[in-house]
Every structure is written in C-alpha cells, then in structure tokens.
Amino acid sequence: MIAASPPIDQRARALGVLRMSLTARCNLACPYCCPDAVDPPGLLSLEQQLRLIRVASRLGAHTLRLTGGEPLLSDRLLPLLEQVALGRATPGNPLQGLRQVALTSNGVLLTQERARALRAAGLERITISLDAVEGEVVARMAGLRGGEPAGTRLIQQVLAGLEAARSAGFDPAVGALKLNAVIQRGVNDDQLIPLAMLARQQGLELRLIEFMDVGNRNGWAMEQVLPAAVMVDRISRQWPLSSLGRSPGGTALRWRYRDGVAAIGVIASITEPFCGDCNRLRITADGQAFTCLFAARGTDLKPALTSDDDLEREICALWQRRLDQYSEEGRGQAAFRTSPHAEMAYLGG
C-alpha cells in the first residue's frame, strides 16, 4: 500500500463519509425516489466492496452507511458487515478507522431474526423511513396499489421493523435508531404533526427531509418543497423546540423538544444547503463514484479495483478535483435545476 494522506478537495473539504449502495432495487416504489426494477449490470463483488471500504477508511472515511434501493434485498449485506467487523477488530487494518457503521432501510423486511443478525454482524445504527401515519397517504407516498388497506399494512410492517430493531439493541436514546420522512407540500405535509407524535411516542429522533430534485423521474417542482424552517415552526407550535445546530459535515439541523422527549432533525438541501462542509462519497452498486447527490454522472472505479494502490490513487485524484456545491449554486434558481441528474435509488440517496 502506498503511503497516503487524507485527500482534500478544491473547497478544502476532507473525505469523511462513505455511502455504499448495495442495490438499486426496492420493494417499494416511492415516486420521489423512483427505484429501478432490476439492478444495473456489473455489480461489485464482495471483495471489491471490501476493498473500497478499506481504501476509503485509509483516506479518512470514518463513517460507512449502507444504502440502496433497499439494502435488505441484498444477499451481500450480512457477509459484508461480518467482514467489516473482522477488519475493525484487526490491529493495523485501515477499517479500524471506522467509527460508525450504519444502514438506511424502509424497515419492511426487518424481522426480529434479521435485526438480531445485523446487530451481531457489527451494524451500529439503523435509520428507517416512513412518510405518513395514515394508510391512504402512506400508500400514495410508497407507490402502493390498494389504497388505504395497503398503506395500513405497510405502516404495521414498518412499526414491527422499528420494534425488531429496538429489541435487537438499536437504542434510539443513543441515536442508534432514527425515523426518516420525506415531506412534500400538498402531498403529505398534513402528516407532519402525526409523524412527530409517533416519533415522540416511540422515543425516536425524527429526520424530516425536504423534497429534493434528484433524478429525472420524480416530477420535482419547487412548489412541492415545504421549507425546513416551516416544518420546524409547525412542530414548535405544538411542542416547543430548542436549537442544537448542525454538526460539522452533518446533514441535519437538529432541535430538541424542551420537554426532553426525543429530538428532530431537518435536512434542508433545497432551502438551507450545506455544501460548504459536505464530506460524502457515494458508491453505486455497480462501482460508480459520485461526489455529489445531484451529479449527472459518476466515475467508474472498477478499472482501479485491481489493487488497493490503484484504487487509492483513483479516489485521491477524484476527491482532489472535486468542486461540487450544487445546492448552494442553484439555491432559488429554478432554471439551474433542469440539468440531468442520476436517479436517487441508483445513487443510494
């Protein structure tokens, strides 16, 4: 392995988070995400995924987040976690630099048995998505046929997944279990208070995400964006909040309830972008590297996956020429947001 120092991009940002997609497929069809029915050809092997994680860790990545599509659809998930855990326990292995291994899921497939297996394999944090608490709205947000009954079944599955995670030791009190919700004005913004109430009852931190213009299929329009500031104001009128700010390199502006019951975070990529300290590198299931969620195309890392040294040089070069600050440049400029983007499910969010 060549001697390495953490790469710094053109805006003085260091690599900190590796988001690795295991699949572009999903068992839901959320219209704001628009997942593919099949995976792209040329999926990375387990050995290639491990090499990517190992090299990224050596270059400063302290957090690994496994994503999809729906990562629980991948038969690679458990073996990958087990190998990462082995590396983290081995003196001198670059994987010892990982401080956190996390997963984003819709929770539908998260049974008690699977949650225990994930925990035993070294997974430390799970974020589960649910965009409403009323069956009809959930069905609409998840792209389900069958209306209210189908949505109600989905809610029950997600709640069961949350309970399975909690029972397996993913403790929301220490941030190991969180709830995500994408909010669209005029689509599910009436679910904001009910979602907050559910999260408070469950002792979960609720992450509220502005509807983002990722991809070309979701029909994004600025009129459907409910600003994070409006979300915070609505919730604070019901339960007063105090600001906790945003951690360096973090995505969420966090707020705590003054009565001490849990917290909320708002991810305001559209109205309050945080490009200035973005530290995330995204790797798709077929080995494309994206340095921005809103990018049109990635860099194929497969030719460099023959050795750690080759891959390290490729990632360093990619990161050192990085200039991305899409959301800050396009803030308030509707015309700027008409360029092609890669799809959300392909990128891994």
At residue 229, φ and ψ (nearest 5 deg) are -60, -35
66 domain residue, yes or no: yes
Query: What digits encode the pLDDT tens for the residues 188-225?
Result: 999 999 999 999 999 999 999 999 887 777 778 888 99
Query: What digits encode the pLDDT tens for the residues 29-60?
Result: 988 887 878 898 999 999 999 999 999 999 99
Amino acid (1-letter code) at residue 6: P
CB 8 within 8 A of CB 320: yes
C-alpha pair distances (Å), 346 with each of 91, 121, 133, 288 = 34, 25, 27, 10
Query: What digits encode the pLDDT tens for the residues 127-149?
Result: 999 999 999 999 999 999 999 99
213 domain residue, yes or no: no
Q: Which residue has the higher pLDDT, 121 or 338?
A: 121
190 domain residue, yes or no: no
Question: Token match 């009190």: residue?
Answer: 173
218 domain residue, yes or no: no
Give the range of the structural domain holding residue 330, as residue numbers without chain letter: 17-179+278-347
DSSP notation for 227-245: -HHHHHHHHHHHS-EEEEE
The CA distance from 34 to 217, in Å, is 7
Query: What digits encode the pLDDT tens for the residues 55-76?
Result: 999 999 999 999 999 999 999 9
What is the number of domains present in the chain?
Answer: 1
Domain containing residue 63: CATH number: 3.20.20.70
195 domain residue, yes or no: no
What pLDDT, on the 0 to 100 scale, is given for residue 43? 96
- Asked whether the predicted pLDDT for residue 331 surpasses 60, the reply is no
**Contacts (Cβ under 8 Å, ≥6 apart) of 56:** 15, 18, 64, 281, 315
pLDDT category, 335, cuts 50, 70, 90?
Answer: very low
- Residue 41: Cβ-neighbour burial (10 angstroms; 0-12, 13-18, 19+): exposed
221 domain residue, yes or no: no
| Helix residue ranges, H only, the chain | 46-58, 77-88, 112-120, 135-142, 147-167, 192-202, 228-238, 308-320, 326-330, 344-347
Give the H/E segment covering residue 125.
strand 125-129
229 domain residue, yes or no: no
At residue 269, φ and ψ (nearest 5 deg) are -60, -25
42 domain residue, yes or no: yes
Strands 177-183 and 241-245, sheet pairing: unpaired
Give the H/E segment covering residue 177.
strand 177-183
